[in-house]
Every structure is written in structure tokens, then in C-alpha cells.
């Protein structure tokens, strides 16, 4: 069992080494077989682990002492419980499908870069598994940093393009800002409790040692880390730029798995968060405003991947809303369904981009439904799922969130519903612009339109099926007796949630209401965008298209002053301070060696003289100065 768990973790690492080191020797097929194979094995093992967890519950394994300072110890420990096993399945399952997809998608790359791509992907899976399996905050943090690194590497995968490198840097730095909060939280916990292990921190004795100020501060700091990783206000702008990476990367890292690490973190620490009402309020505000802001930006974007990126930000906002409301299992549920349909949408968009010979602008698309039949069908399912049409997966998870929002306050419900309607609107704008109407691209593109190969469509189909049925594991009590299986399954980790106080009638009513609204929105979008003609934007439209100028604002208030400060430091401190010292040392050595060199003039007499003087000094020391 102990080695078994380690094996899940180490298999992707093995794949990383094999495909990374063999990138120049192995054939492309070997590389993809290795990396897909290790992930598939990992998935199988995760599945057995999942079955075990159903029986055995929470288990923590200590492997070795990772850090030991005096009495303070941080073991290298892995923890497997209900929450991490669900994430294990998502990561390895969706990860495997995306690996298979990318094996075909990246075919045009040269073998060396192909190997590099797969080694990064495997490394990413390794760190992500480390993140969700970590039995204490330090191990979790290692995984956390590792996925950030892989994200950086993969966004900048086409490193010859400076724009992409810039995007990668932006993602990394924004993540680091959040990580600072996370780190401080870890130090705070160490200072107060002298441990980082989850099992000890979340026990009632440890919680009793923390004052309410401590808990609020720690949870807020952890949340800062989560906003960085999960792209929430104010640290969300990196995610749309991260679309510079290859599409499978966007699907895996920037939609299905890594960005949900923040959700995982908060869900993992739910015991702390439940004790910090202030933090919860903050999370609700941030989550909801992110959801709506990102949704409005998505309305006017024209890049197919950017729309999906903003949609991801918006959906993550929903998940945080759920976390803030204390509906942790609803958030995890949404993570699960979101992983399915967002991976599906991204992979579908990859298929579209493939067909369009690399063009990502939806204004140039249109009428693709005839040629790309499978992509069309699966994309439609994805859109329905994200919009929340019953009985697709997105409906149930979104409904669970909306319901808990209603329970808290109807205002929240209405705001969240507006966000959901915006989601439906922009998704179907994307859908209709892409697949219906007339083709608006160039002639060359039109001739090259083709359906993607099997290796790409099969993952699409599997994900589409999962997007349809995925919701049923969390189907609410009112539909089937013994429903809400997911939250029951998660209850040992997340704790039993208070029963819904909303009556069944209200629940039905709310569901019906949201469904009607969403269908109406979809119809509106269909009417508006089926026969799309490019028109000039209004002023507000322009503002939205420019993402509310948030990037420019950040540049003005943060990036430019820091750049200027750095320039001043470079010019003044670096050149006349550090450089002067370094060069001065060099000059001193040079000068003194030039002087000392003169002693070695080849005259034997001088050597003997020096020898005598040295002897005198040594004798003096020996006989008179030594005690």
C-alpha cells in the first residue's frame, strides 16, 4: 500500500526522465508510448487506490525525514483520503486523455522538442500528484511550486517567440506573488503549531491553540496563494496570456488541473476556513466578482482560446464562491465536472485550430460544422455542459453552487445567475461563430479544413461522454433517493455539511428558473450570431475587448514603477556599488601581484636574503613569541 502510493507518484517522474533524456535518441512513437503509458499505469493504480480509500478512509504514510532541525521535523509524507483520491482520478484520467490527444496534436514538432514537450507534461503530472498527495504543507508546497515551474516551461514551450516567453514569465511571476502569501502562511503555522502535517493541524487540539486572528490571517494568506494559482482577482491576468502554450497544455494545466490547485488547497483546509467567517466573506466577494468580470471580458474576445481562458477564470470564480459559502463538496464537484467539459472544450478548440491551420480568431471561422462533425458534436455537448443545461454535468454542479448561494442570500443567487447567463451567452457566441454561418477565412484555409485524426477525436468523445454523465455522481437528493453521493463520499474529509434549509419546491423552482433563463440566452445568442457580420464595436465594447484595461492598469501601478526602481538600482547600486567592489578586488590583486612579482627578480642573492629574513621571523616566533 505504501509503496503502491509512491509508485503512482514516481511513474510520471520515470516518464519524465525517459522521454526527457531520450528525446534525441528515441523515436516519436516511443516517446509518446512511454509518456502515455506511465500516466495510464498511474491512472490504473489511482483507480485501485480509490477503491481502497472507499474502505480504509484517511491514511498517512511517512517515507523519510525531509527536513529535521532540532526537535522540529518535516517528514516526507503522503496522505491519501477521499479528497485526494478524487483529485488523483481527475489528474491521471484527464491527464491520460490529454496525453493521447497531444501525441497526435504535436506531431508536427521535431523529435527533440516532441520529447521535451512530453517530458514536461509528465513532470507536470508528477508535481500535480505530489501536490494532491502531500501529507503536509511543505510537500504540498513542493508540488505547488513544481506545477508552477512546469506551467512556465510549457507556456514558453515555443521559446523562440518572445511574446510567449513574456507570457510565461508573467505567469510565473504572478504565481510567485501568490506563493509568497502561501509561504508566510506555512511559516505562521510552523511558528504557532510547530508542525506542518495536515492530520495534526486540523485536529481539534491544534485548532484550540490558534487564536481567531491567527486563523483569519493564515486562511487569508493561503487564499492569496490560491488566487495566484487559480487566477482570481487580482492575480488573474496571467491565465489568458498563458494560452500561448500548446492547446493540450491549456486544456490540462490551465483548465483541468493546475488552476484547481487553489480550490484543492482551500478544500483541504476547510476546517480552518469554516472557523474564519471574515475570510469566507472575502472569498465570496473575490470569487463572485472574478466570475462576473471574467465573463464580461469573455463576451468580446475573438481568440477562441482566450474566450475559453476567461471562461476558466470565471468558472474558477464560481468554485471559490462555493468555497466561500462553505459548500466545499459543491466546489470539488464543480472542479470535477469542469475538468471534463473544459478539457473537452479546449481539446475541441485545438481540433478547430488544427483544422484552421493554426488560426485562432473566431471571426475568420464559421460553418465548420459540416467538415468537423465529431468536433462539432462534442463541442456542442461541452457548451451545453458549461452553460448548465440539464441533465449534463455542468448543470448539477452549477446548480449546487447556485443553491448554496441562494441559501446564503438571494442577492448572491441573482448575481451568480447573471454570471451563469453571461457564460451561456459567450459560449454560444463562440459556438455559433465557429460552427454555423458561412466560412469567413481565406481560401487556402478553406481548402485545408479537415477533421482531426482518431487519436484526437477519441479523447474528445470520451470527454464528451464524461461531460454528459459526470454530473450524476453528484445528483441532488431530490431527484434520486440516496443522491449527493460525492459529498457523502467526501464527508470524512470535508465534514458533514448542514442540511439544506431550502424546501424542495424552492429547489425545483430555482432549477427551472435558471434553466429557462439559460435556454433563453442561448436562443438569443443563436439569433444574434448565426449570421454574423463583423461590425465596429461601441465604446463599452472596445473597453471590454481590451479586458477593462486591467493589464494596462497593472502595468501603470506595479510593473512600471518596479521596472524603474530596478533600472535605478542597476545604474547606481549595481554599477558603482557591487561592480566597483568586484572590480576593485580584481584591481587590488592585479596591482599587488605586480608589486610582489618584483621580488622574484632571479637574483639568487635576494632569494637568500629573503630566506634569512624569514628564518629570523620564524625563529623569533618559535622562541620568543610563542607561549
Residue 520 vs 616, nearer CB to another protein: 616
Residue 549 vs 617, nearer CB to another protein: 617
Residue 69 vs 625, nearer CB to another protein: 625
> Stretches 82-90, 225-233, 237-245, 600-608: which one binds another protein (CB under 8 A)?
600-608
- In angstroms, the first-to-last Cα distance of the chain is 67
In order of 8, 84, 108, 251, 495, the CA distances from 131 in angstroms are 13, 9, 32, 19, 21
Q: Does 605 bind another protein (CB under 8 A)?
A: yes
> Stretches 21-29, 464-472, 548-556, 602-610: which one binds another protein (CB under 8 A)?
602-610
Residue 520 vs 608, nearer CB to another protein: 608
Contacts of 120 (CB under 8 A, 6+ apart): 16, 150, 153, 154, 157
The least distance separating another protein from the CB of residue 592, rounded to whole angstroms, comes to 20
The least distance separating another protein from the CB of residue 593, rounded to whole angstroms, comes to 16
Q: Which of 213, 414, 591, 619 binds another protein (CB under 8 A)?
A: 619
Q: Is the peptide bond before 234 cis (omega within 30 degrees of 0)?
A: yes
Q: Does 602 bind another protein (CB under 8 A)?
A: yes
The least distance separating another protein from the CB of residue 594, rounded to whole angstroms, comes to 16
Q: Does 600 bind another protein (CB under 8 A)?
A: yes
Q: Is the peptide bond before 391 cis (omega within 30 degrees of 0)?
A: yes
> Stretches 100-108, 290-298, 558-566, 594-602: which one binds another protein (CB under 8 A)?
594-602
> Stretches 138-146, 384-392, 560-568, 603-611: which one binds another protein (CB under 8 A)?
603-611
> Stretches 97-105, 173-181, 318-326, 616-624: which one binds another protein (CB under 8 A)?
616-624
- Residue 601: which of 610, 613, 589, 592 has the closest Cα? 610
Residue 358 vs 602, nearer CB to another protein: 602
Residue 72 and residue 440: Cα distance in Å, rounded?
A: 65
Residue 161 vs 620, nearer CB to another protein: 620
Q: What is the 3-state secondary structure (H, E, C) of 54-90?
A: HHHCCEEEEEEEEEEECCEEEEEEEEECHHHHHHHHH
CB 264 within 8 A of CB 272: no
Residue 539 vs 627, nearer CB to another protein: 627
> Stretches 258-266, 388-396, 443-451, 604-612: which one binds another protein (CB under 8 A)?
604-612
Cell of 426: 459567450
| Per-residue buried b or exposed e for 587-606, using 16+ beta carbons within 10 Å of the residue's own CB | eeeeeeeeeeeeeeeeeeee
Q: Does 612 bind another protein (CB under 8 A)?
A: yes
Q: Which of 481, 594, 624, 627 binds another protein (CB under 8 A)?
A: 624
> Stretches 43-51, 81-89, 396-404, 599-607: which one binds another protein (CB under 8 A)?
599-607
Q: Does 616 bind another protein (CB under 8 A)?
A: yes
Q: Does 597 bind another protein (CB under 8 A)?
A: no
CB 39 within 8 A of CB 95: yes
Residue 28 and residue 33: Cα distance in Å, rounded?
A: 8
Residue 618 and residue 611: Cα distance in Å, rounded?
A: 10
Contacts of 424 (CB under 8 A, 6+ apart): 386, 387, 388, 518, 521, 522, 525
Q: Does 594 bind another protein (CB under 8 A)?
A: no
Residue 573 vs 619, nearer CB to another protein: 619
Q: Does 615 bind another protein (CB under 8 A)?
A: yes
Q: Does 627 bind another protein (CB under 8 A)?
A: no
> Stretches 41-49, 413-421, 506-514, 608-616: which one binds another protein (CB under 8 A)?
608-616
Residue 307: CA count within 13 A, CB half-sphere? 27
Residue 384 and residue 426: Cα distance in Å, rounded?
A: 12
> Stretches 46-54, 460-468, 513-521, 617-625: which one binds another protein (CB under 8 A)?
617-625
Q: How many residues are listed for the chain in this entry? A: 627
Cα 134 to chain centroid distance, Å, stands at 17
Q: Is 447 exposed, middle or buried (0-12, 13-18, 19+ CB in 10 A)?
A: exposed
User: Which residues are bridge partners to 533 per DSSP?
Assistant: none
CB 278 within 8 A of CB 319: no
- List the x/- string, 256-285, binding to another protein by CB under 8 A: ------------------------------
Residue 573 vs 621, nearer CB to another protein: 621
Residue 516 vs 611, nearer CB to another protein: 611
Residue 509 vs 609, nearer CB to another protein: 609
The least distance separating another protein from the CB of residue 622, rounded to whole angstroms, comes to 8
Ramachandran bin of 484, using left for φ above 0, alpha for ψ from -120 to 50, beta for the remaining angles: left
| Triad 118, 120, 126: Cα angle to 5° | 105
Residue 581 vs 610, nearer CB to another protein: 610
> Rounded to the nearest 10 degrees, what angle do helices 373-387 and 454-469 cross at?
30
Strands (E), 70-210: 72-80
Residue 555 vs 620, nearer CB to another protein: 620
Q: Does 448 bind another protein (CB under 8 A)?
A: no
Q: Which of 208, 598, 603, 625 binds another protein (CB under 8 A)?
A: 603
Q: Does 604 bind another protein (CB under 8 A)?
A: yes
The least distance separating another protein from the CB of residue 123, rounded to whole angstroms, comes to 60
- Please identify which residue in the block is written with the cell numbers 521535451: 116
> Stretches 6-14, 38-46, 88-96, 613-621: which one binds another protein (CB under 8 A)?
613-621
Q: Does 64 bind another protein (CB under 8 A)?
A: no
Residue 69 vs 604, nearer CB to another protein: 604
Contacts of 571 (CB under 8 A, 6+ apart): none
The least distance separating another protein from the CB of residue 579, rounded to whole angstroms, comes to 36
Residue 481 vs 597, nearer CB to another protein: 597
Strand, coil or helix: what is 438?
coil
Number of residues that bind another protein (CB under 8 A): 17
DSSP class of residue 570?
I
The least distance separating another protein from the CB of residue 602, rounded to whole angstroms, comes to 3
Q: What is the 3-state secondary structure (H, E, C) of 240-276?
A: HHHHHCCHHHHHHHHHHCHHHHHHHHHHHCHHHHHCC
For binding to another protein (CB under 8 A), which residues are involved? Answer: 600-605, 608-609, 612-613, 615-616, 619-620, 622-624
Amino acid at each position: 500500500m505504501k509503496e503502491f502510493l509512491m509508485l503512482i507518484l514516481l511513474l510520471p517522474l520515470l516518464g519524465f526522465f525517459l522521454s526527457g533524456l531520450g528525446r534525441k535518441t528515441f523515436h516519436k512513437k516511443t516517446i509518446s508510448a512511454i509518456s502515455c503509458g506511465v500516466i495510464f499505469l498511474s491512472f490504473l493504480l489511482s483507480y485501485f487506490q480509490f477503491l481502497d480509500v472507499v474502505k480504509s478512509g484517511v491514511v498517512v504514510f511517512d517515507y523519510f525525514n525531509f527536513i529535521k532541525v532540532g526537535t522540529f521535523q518535516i517528514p516526507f509524507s503522503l496522505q491519501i483520503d477521499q479528497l485526494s483520491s478524487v483529485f488523483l482520478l481527475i489528474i491521471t484520467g484527464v491527464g491520460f486523455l490529454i496525453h493521447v490527444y497531444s501525441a497526435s496534436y504535436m506531431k508536427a514538432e521535431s523529435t527533440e522538442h516532441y520529447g521535451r514537450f512530453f517530458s514536461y507534461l509528465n513532470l507536470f503530472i508528477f508535481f500535480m500528484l505530489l501536490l494532491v498527495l502531500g501529507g503536509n504543507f511543505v510537500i504540498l508546497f513542493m508540488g505547488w511550486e513544481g506545477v508552477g515551474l512546469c506551467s512556465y516551461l510549457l507556456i514558453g514551450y515555443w521559446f523562440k517567440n518572445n511574446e510567449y516567453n513574456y507570457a510565461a514569465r508573467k505567469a510565473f511571476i504572478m504565481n510567485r506573488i501568490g506563493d509568497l502569501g502561501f509561504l508566510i502562511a506555512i511559516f505562521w503555522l510552523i511558528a504557532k503549531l510547530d508542525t506542518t502535517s495536515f492530520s495534526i493541524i486540523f485536529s481539534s487540539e491544534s485548532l484550540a491553540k490558534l487564536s481567531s486572528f491567527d486563523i483569519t490571517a493564515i486562511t487569508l494568506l493561503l487564499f492569496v496563494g490560491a488566487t495566484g494559482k487559480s487566477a482570481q482577482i487580482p492575480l488573474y491576468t496571467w491565465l489568458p496570456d498563458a494560452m500561448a502554450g500548446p492547446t493540450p497544455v491549456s486544456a490540462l494545466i490551465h483548465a483541468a488541473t493546475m488552476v484547481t490547485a487553489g480550490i484543492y488547497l482551500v478544500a483541504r483546509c476547510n476546517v480552518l476556513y469554516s472557523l474564519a467567517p471574515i475570510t469566507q466573506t472575502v472569498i465570496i466577494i473575490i470569487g463572485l466578482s472574478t466570475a462576473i468580470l471574467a465573463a464580461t471580458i469573455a463576451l468580446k474576445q475573438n481568440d477562441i482560446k482566450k474566450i475559453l481562458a476567461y471562461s476558466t477564470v470565471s468558472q474558477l470564480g464560481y468554485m471559490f464562491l462555493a468555497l466561500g459559502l462553505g459548500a466545499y463538496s459543491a466546489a470539488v464537484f464543480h472542479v470535477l465536472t469542469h475538468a471534463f467539459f473544459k478539457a473537452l472544450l479546449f481539446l475541441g478548440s485545438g481540433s478547430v485550430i488544427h483544422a484552421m491551420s493554426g488560426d485562432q480568431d473566431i471571426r475568420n471561422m464559421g460553418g465548420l460544422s459540416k467538415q468537423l462533425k465529431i468536433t462539432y458534436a462534442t463541442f456542442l455537448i461541452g457548451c451545453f455542459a458549461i452553460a448548465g443545461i440539464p441533465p449534463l454535468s455542468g448543470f448539477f454542479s452549477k446548480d449546487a453552487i447556485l443553491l448554496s448561494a441562494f441559501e446564503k442570500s438571494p442577492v448572491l443567487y441573482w448575481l451568480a445567475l447573471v454570471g451563469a447567463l453571461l457564460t451561456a451567452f459567450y459560449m454560444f457566441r463562440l459556438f455559433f461563430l465557429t460552427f454555423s454561418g458561412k466560412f469567413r477565412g481565406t481560401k487556402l484555409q478553406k481548402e485545408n479544413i479537415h477533421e482531426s485524426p482518431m487519436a484526437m477525436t477519441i479523447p474528445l468523445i470520451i470527454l464528451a461522454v464524461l461531460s454528459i454523465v459526470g454530473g450524476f455522481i453528484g445528483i441532488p437528493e431530490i431527484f434520486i433517493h440516496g443522491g449527493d453521493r460525492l459529498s457523502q463520499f467526501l464527508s470524512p474529509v470535508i465534514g458533514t455539511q448542514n442540511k439544506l434549509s431550502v424546501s424542495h419546491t424552492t429547489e425545483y423552482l430555482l432549477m427551472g428558473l435558471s434553466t429557462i433563463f439559460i435556454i433563453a440566452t442561448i436562443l438569443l445568442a443563436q439569433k444574434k450570431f448565426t449570421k454574423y457580420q463583423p461590425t465596429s464595436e461601441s465604446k463599452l465594447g472596445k473597453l471590454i475587448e481590451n479586458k477593462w484595461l486591467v493589464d494596462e492598469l497593472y502595468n501603470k501601478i506595479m510593473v512600471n514603477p518596479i521596472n524603474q526602481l530596478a533600472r535605478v538600482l542597476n545604474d547606481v547600486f549595481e554599477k558603482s556599488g557591487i561592480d566597483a567592489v568586484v572590480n576593485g578586488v580584481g584591481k587590488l590583486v592585479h596591482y599587488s601581484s605586480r608589486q610582489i612579482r618584483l621580488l622574484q627578480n632571479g637574483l639568487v642573492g635576494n632569494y637568500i636574503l629573503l630566506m634569512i629574513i624569514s628564518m629570523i621571523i620564524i625563529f623569533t616566533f618559535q622562541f620568543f613569541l610563542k607561549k
